[in-house]
Amino acid sequence: MKCKSLSFLMLLWSGASVAAGLPGPAAESPIPNQNGLAPRYLTEFQHIGQGFSWSAHIDTELFANLAGGIRQGTANTTAGQLGLQWDSGKAGAWRGGLFTTSVFGIYSSAEDTAYSGDLQTASNIYAPSAVRLYEANYRQQWTDWLATRVGYTDFNLYFDVASNALQLLNGSFGLDPSLSGNVPALPTYPYSGLGFIVNTHGANWSSKAGVFQGDAVHPYRGVFDRGYLAIWEGALHWGREEGEDPDDDTDEYGKYVFKVGAWHYDQPRAPDFDLSPTTNGIYGIVEAHSQLADAELAPFIQWGKAFGQENLVPWYLGVGARLSHFLAARPDDALSFGMARAALRPGMVAAGYEDEELPAAIYPAETSYEITYVAKLNDYLSLQPDLQYITRPNGVYRNATVGLLRLHLEFF
């Protein structure tokens, strides 16, 4: 069955590439937009002995801008990830040590936003084609309540995460655009960066802080030579369920979770590198899990605020929910829906046009409405159709209707 699934995946990939063969966008900026890929994108690690575990997956996606935006058109993105972990305790060495490394390979036929024109990005896996190191870090669990992590990592795996929103494909549900929309070159998908995290927790609370290099697109030109990102997050957790691991520094435990965070981005030479000037902001997340007969409803609220007139996105609001186990015949399927609204500063939008003709009107917000369904076909394969309606993409374009179809294959 696994071979048949892989053959089908390759066939879909090839067909999608041909279907997406429309004129592509202009040459990309050296500092591309970042989408906020859903955290913990790598599938669960499987132990293979001597402390080693590995995991691998591949996603291929058809993107179609059906109406509105800049122009109609289709594109294909395929992303695959391979990861390896070594647990020092399971290997019989010292307790609490965990080395993680993973590699990402991305193929994109065209830039999605060249069709839809949206700031928040309808697809969270689009990125320029490349093969990149994604993780190379070490976590040490010092006590039951204290852990540190150091190395090359994606900060959004551990900060500003709404776990109930992870099935939604719009990039804003992965990373709040009051951060990602204002600060380019962050250490997050598709560019990770060097950083350090300290995490502590109790039964009903958690707190963590991190510092990361300020330009992850050029990570080898001095760790903090191009500034830094400092971030803190605290959370309250109620109703921990059986099997949840509070020692996991993603801190996703409890039936009810309330998070608040604050970040500061320091960039002393922003004009030299086409980066954001020094700025800061705050964010919050509320999540819950409740039973509806045999089904589970998992709502969420996200919000973010960036301070300073230089920021394109002054605030963000996201709301939605995931409904799972609601079909007796298909207990592993799930339905998610959400709204992501990014406020815009019209003056900043206009400044981006430079010598080009300004649009007739610039609207003060972009809003995406999304509904998506994940159908688990077997133990290795799932299919996800997705529909989004985006009002005033980037504040200037016509309302857009975007359809996506994603195929997810796990190799275990």
Is the pLDDT score of 20 beyond 70?
Answer: no
pLDDT band, very low/low/confident/very high, at 336 (cuts 50, 70, 90): very high
The number of domains in the chain is 1
123 is a domain residue = yes
d(CA 259, CA 201): 13
Structure tokens at 370: 């999304």
What tens digit of pLDDT does each residue of 378-408 get? 988 999 999 999 999 999 999 999 999 999 9
C-alpha distance from residue 37 to each of 49, 157, 292 (Å): 30, 9, 29
Which residue shows structure tokens 């007739």?
A: 360
When pLDDT is averaged across residues 354-359 and rounded to a whole number, the result is 73
3-state secondary structure of 319: strand
Q: Which is more confidently placed, 31 or 155?
A: 155
% helix / strand / coil in the chain, to the nearest 5?
A: 10, 45, 40
Is the pLDDT score of 3 beyond 70?
Answer: no
Is the pLDDT score of 15 beyond 70?
Answer: no
Q: Which of 382, 352, 386 is nearest to 370 (CA)?
A: 386
CATH label of the domain that carries residue 278: 2.40.160.180
Tell me, what's the pLDDT at 36?
52
Q: In 20-112, which residue ranges form alpha helices assigned H by DSSP? A: none
41 is a domain residue = no
What tens digit of pLDDT does each residue of 208-240 get? 999 999 999 887 766 788 899 999 999 999 987
pLDDT band, very low/low/confident/very high, at 264 (cuts 50, 70, 90): very high
Is the pLDDT score of 250 beyond 80?
Answer: no
pTM comes to 0.88
Burial grade of 29 (CB within 10 A; 0-12, 13-18, 19 or more): exposed
What tens digit of pLDDT does each residue of 275-322 get? 888 999 999 999 999 988 889 999 999 999 999 888 999 999 999 999
For residue 346, cis peptide bond before it (omega within 30 degrees of 0)? no
161 is a domain residue = yes
Is the pLDDT score of 22 beyond 60?
Answer: no
pLDDT band, very low/low/confident/very high, at 351 (cuts 50, 70, 90): confident
169 is a domain residue = yes
96 is a domain residue = yes
Locate the DSSP E strands across 239-309.
Answer: 256-266, 279-288, 290-292, 295-307
3-state secondary structure of 18: helix
Query: Which structural domain range is residue 203 located in?
Result: 2-25+49-410
35 is a domain residue = no
pLDDT band, very low/low/confident/very high, at 30 (cuts 50, 70, 90): low
pLDDT band, very low/low/confident/very high, at 37 (cuts 50, 70, 90): low
Evaluate whether 62 touches 76 at the Cβ level (below 8 Å): yes
Q: Which is more confidently placed, 345 or 29?
A: 345
Is the pLDDT score of 263 beyond 50?
Answer: yes
